[in-house]
Amino acid sequence: MSVSDERDRPHLVFLPSGIGNSALLFRLAAAMASRNCRVTFINVHPPQPAFPNQPGVEVLDFEMLAVADTASLDDGDPFIARAAAINRAFRQLNPILTSLQASAIFSDFAVAATLADLNIPLFIVSTTSAKFLALVANTPRLLSRDPDAFSNCAGEIQVQLGMPSIPKASIPAAWLHKSSSNNLLTAYLLPNARALSRVRGVVFNTFDWFEQETLAVAALDSSRPPLFPVGPLPTHQQQGGHQYHLPWLREQPAKSVVYVNFGSQLEVISQDQIGEVRKGLEICGYGYLWAMAEGEPCFERRGKGVIARGGVDQERVLADPAIGVFVNQCEWQSIMQAAWEGVPVLAWPQHGDQRMNAEAVEKTGLGMWMKEWSRGGEGAVDGDEIGRVVRQMMEDLNINKAAEIVRERAREAASENGGSSQKAFHKLMHMFTSNNNYS
């Protein structure tokens, strides 16, 4: 390729904050690199996560933690302090972005306000559902009418005309404190939500059929940037960490293993509850694989199952024919992975956006949500009940058929032959490849 041809190609820079899902941005970067774009991925927190060599993607490691650690952390909330420090550090990236001559930047919500002020087109890659981001986007309007709209809410919040209201129980608990003393709302959520009106588009790891109602209503709002539901995004193999080497799983019969993964924040589950989950898995009558991110990588045989410490390659686990049910707290990425493979989900949300994500699991038929289990500090769910529900899901053919339908819809969306997600992806790419129409 000649120098002039290289210069004419749009240069897309991916800049994850480290607060959102960096791997999700890398997947999108890899997909766009295959469409005649120059792609630079700035890995701001090396060496973790470590990203593989990907054709067309130049990875630049940029250590920001040292910069962030020296910032003035004057907020009592560690999350707010970290987000503020990262945003301060990101302002120092401006010379690098200028030198890269970026046509556009792709990043996540946590740094939207900082990056929207640059003279470079910004696209936000959402790491959650379209419904949850719709709530976030409407937060400035809701709080302008009533500064304590969330804490004053009696039962439900009407987010947007035409969109179903959201039960108060599904609003993140941290939002329910009075706005006057709620730095999560005032210092983090509101500035970034306001910045969404200044971005060129929002990319979602979801697909039309899965969130049809929300996406249809949001698309009608001309005050919002264009929406691009391009999920489920294709996989990539991440280097490092605990990998898939699980001969035990490959030896199990089809649909005979319960896969359990409560993500990287297992501390939100009490030790008593962990004990009851273990009891339920032992008495459910099926083998199980319980992945825990904590600890040194190792496999431990426990009765009928295996505990995998240090994490697993979740996508490969879910793709294994042996997996019959996925017990999960409903991180959005996990839901999309389960939808792609058609694995029924036993939804057990813990915090944040997870209750709203669990609603999507239930509504689409991807799985079940035992709402009475998500009751906060009211005691642990009994292991006998856990074992009963898991066994019921493993043996219910209707649940399996419904999840298989979700799989079919996910594959249809990703199809090059007119799939909705592929159409959205082509529309997104057209913004950069059609007469340089990205400036």
Same domain, 202 and 262: no
Same domain, 173 and 304: no
Specify the pLDDT at position 205: 97
Quote the tokens at residue 113.
Answer: 């306000």
Ramachandran assignment for 303, one of left (phi > 0), alpha (psi -120 to 50 degrees), beta (any other):
left
Quote the tokens at residue 132.
Answer: 């949850």
pLDDT tens digits in sequence order for the chain, 439 residues long = 444 455 678 999 999 998 878 889 999 999 999 888 899 999 876 555 667 778 889 998 877 654 444 444 445 678 888 888 888 888 888 888 888 999 999 999 999 999 998 989 999 999 999 999 999 999 999 999 999 999 888 889 998 888 889 999 999 999 998 887 898 999 999 999 999 999 999 999 999 999 999 999 988 888 889 999 999 987 655 444 444 557 889 899 999 999 999 987 655 788 899 999 999 999 999 999 999 888 788 888 888 899 998 878 899 999 999 999 999 999 999 999 999 999 999 999 988 899 999 999 999 999 999 999 976 656 899 999 999 999 999 999 999 999 999 999 999 999 999 999 999 999 999 998 775 554 4
Same domain, 47 and 132: yes
Q: Global pTM?
A: 0.91
Closest CA to 14 of 129, 136, 103: 103
Same domain, 126 and 157: yes
Specify the pLDDT at position 342: 98
Specify the pLDDT at position 267: 59
CB contact at 8 A, 276 and 380: yes
User: Which residue range(s) make up the domain with 367?
Assistant: 247-395
Same domain, 268 and 336: yes
Query: Would residue 404 count as lying in a domain?
Result: no
Same domain, 309 and 230: no
Same domain, 227 and 84: yes
Query: Would residue 116 count as lying in a domain?
Result: yes
Query: Would residue 205 count as lying in a domain?
Result: yes
Query: Would residue 439 count as lying in a domain?
Result: no
Distance CA 169, CA 171 (A): 6
Same domain, 420 and 371: no
Query: Would residue 330 count as lying in a domain?
Result: yes
Query: Would residue 28 count as lying in a domain?
Result: yes
Angstrom CA distances, 225 to 19, 105, 137, 195, 262, stand at: 23, 15, 11, 11, 33
Query: Would residue 241 count as lying in a domain?
Result: no
CB contact at 8 A, 404 and 342: yes
Same domain, 224 and 252: no
Same domain, 62 and 179: yes
Specify the pLDDT at position 18: 84
Specify the pLDDT at position 1: 47
Closest CA to 202 of 84, 100, 112, 91: 112
Query: Would residue 117 count as lying in a domain?
Result: yes
CATH number at residue 346: 3.40.50.2000
Same domain, 262 and 348: yes
CB contact at 8 A, 367 and 344: yes
Domains held by the chain: number: 2
Same domain, 193 and 106: yes
